[in-house]
Amino acid sequence: MNSFKNIDKEYVANTYGRFDVEIVNGNGSLVYDINGKEYIDLSSGIAVNTFGMADKEWIEAVTNQLQKCQHTSNLYYSEPCAILAKMLCERTGAKKVFFGNSGAEANECAIKVARLWASEIKGEEYFNVVTLKNSFHGRTITTLSATGQDVFHKYFNPLTDGFLYAEANNLESVEEIFKNNNCCAIIMELVQGEGGVIALDSDFVAGVSDLCKKYNNLLIIDEVQTGNGRCGTLYAYQGYNIMPDIITTAKGLAGGLPIGACLMFEKTKDVLKPSLHGSTFGGNLISCAGAINVLSRIDDELLNQVSEKSRYVFDSLRNAEGIVSVTGKGLMLGIETIGDVSVILSKCMEKGILPIKAKNKLRLLPPLNIPFELLKKSIEIIKEVARDNK
Ligand SMILES: Cc1ncc(COP(=O)(O)O)c(C=O)c1O
């Protein structure tokens, strides 16, 4: 096979700092580059390939649908979309689902729903949405505005109006904003992924939920990265003592096909009405067929394995030489090393494992069904590289 790296460099927009690896195929948690070099995949397409590469059951579900009908418009009913929405509601307590194609779109929908809800219940002037500093909610102008990191805002002004940023793990900072501004909602990730794989304190999360009740604001949980089994529960909020009004999900839901979903609970279930929102590809039959397969396989057994593998990583790295700390939940993990993370990452790649970065940490997001022996092998490599490069 000929290298395609230079064609990419010439013709694809220069938005990604790509690693020097040309991936061509894979099998489960193993991927192969153009030279046939084998790697253990520790990022699964940034938390997308829930069951790894070329998973047989998932391929069968997707190709069965592909042979029947790939797409209808949202002017007609389609079975996979209806079944998937029912499954999502039954497993979360949500009442209605809107489907889009990405995490950013799911969050856009949540923001529209929050403002619509406010205009019916509190008044149109209650349009402000609170988000947390160091958060990440997407790359469209509005979800960038929601993202609480200045570094993403630079060059894109004017941003969408009506976002206010509170300190994570600081309830007073949230209350101060709720008290002094006309707000409708707060959006937060329970583990800040792009921000460095940092889990919020459970007391803070419960406190925010109470403040939402006190000020009659919606609690929106961005589960784009944390969801679909990644943190050891189907959705991360299920590991906290809260009940959200909206959750958003995407990434791993369809196991490698584009999808985004905004799940609306009791308070928000009737807010969207005909012509207020839509998406040509939203609820696409192939993506929904993939998602039905993925969701039906995220059962207690798999979730227990995710937690067990997570404990293994924490226990193995806790006092390892060259490792400062391990953060995160389930199989969404951040590893802070004494040595420079970029150096450590490239040494890891040389040795045949593919973690990624989040801020100054190595980030692990392996397929949820990564075999134990591949996880163990990967952790041994990380230990060795962290020790030798500290
Ligand atoms: C928490 C969170 N929200 C939203 C997004 C945006 O998702 P997408 O890239 O699918 O638009 C991401 C992507 O990394 C994310 O991690």
For 292-305, how does the pLDDT look when each residue is reduced to its tens digit (9 = 90+)? Answer: 999 999 999 999 99
CA distance between the termini of the chain? 38
The whole-angstrom separation of Cα 153 and Cα 139 is 10
The reply to whether omega before 244 is within 30° of 0 (cis) is no
C-alpha closest to that of 290 among 26, 97, 53, 59 = 59
Q: What integer pLDDT is reported at residue 150 of this predicted model? A: 94
Please tell me the distance between residue 49's alpha carbon and the centre of ligand 1 in angstroms: 15
Q: How confident is the model at residue 183 (pLDDT cuts 50, 70, 90)?
A: very high
Q: What average pLDDT does range 114-128 have in this prediction?
A: 98
For ligand 1, the distance from its centroid to the CA atom of residue 232, given in whole angstroms, is 19
Q: What are phi and psi of 98, to 5 degrees?
A: -110, 130
Reported as a pLDDT band with limits 50, 70 and 90, residue 89 is: very high
> Rounded to two decimals, what is the model's pTM?
0.98
pLDDT of residue 167: 98
Look at residue 17 in the predicted model and tell me its pLDDT: 94
pLDDT of residue 69: 98
CATH 3.40.640.10 in the chain, residue ranges: 58-297
In the chain, CATH 3.90.1150.10 sits at 5-55+300-388
Q: How far apart are CA 35 and CA 2, in angstroms?
A: 10
Mean pLDDT of the chain: 98
Distances (CA, A) of 272 to 110, 187, 226, 262: 10, 19, 25, 11
Give the Cα separation of 283 and 309 in Å (integer).
33
Q: Give the model's pLDDT for residue 247.
A: 98
Any ligand 1 atom below 6 A from CB of 259: no
CA distances from 238 to 134, 243, 278, 334 (A): 23, 8, 28, 21
Asked if residue 245 has its Cβ within 6 Å of ligand 1, the reply is no
Ligand 1 pocket check for 102: Cβ under 6 Å: yes
CA of 279 to the centre of ligand 1 (A): 18
Helices (H), 147-201: 150-153, 171-180
CATH number of 58-297: 3.40.640.10
What's the count of helices (H) and strands (E) in the chain, helices before strands? 13, 17
Question: Cα-flanking dihedrals φ and ψ of residue 271, to 5°?
Answer: -70, -45
| pLDDT tens for each residue of 353-366 | 999 999 999 999 99
What distance in angstroms lies between residue 224's CA and the mean position of ligand 1's atoms? 6
Averaged pLDDT for residues 194-210? 98
For residue 121, give the nearest of 272, 276, 267 by alpha carbon.
Answer: 267
189 lines ligand 1 (CB under 6 A): yes
Return the CATH number of 5-55+300-388, one of 3.20.20.110, 3.90.1150.10, 1.10.10.10, 3.40.50.720: 3.90.1150.10
pLDDT category at 233 given cuts 50, 70, 90 is: very high
pLDDT confidence of residue 55 = 98
Distance (angstroms) between ligand 1 centre and the Cα of 328 equals: 17
CB 143 within 8 A of CB 108: yes
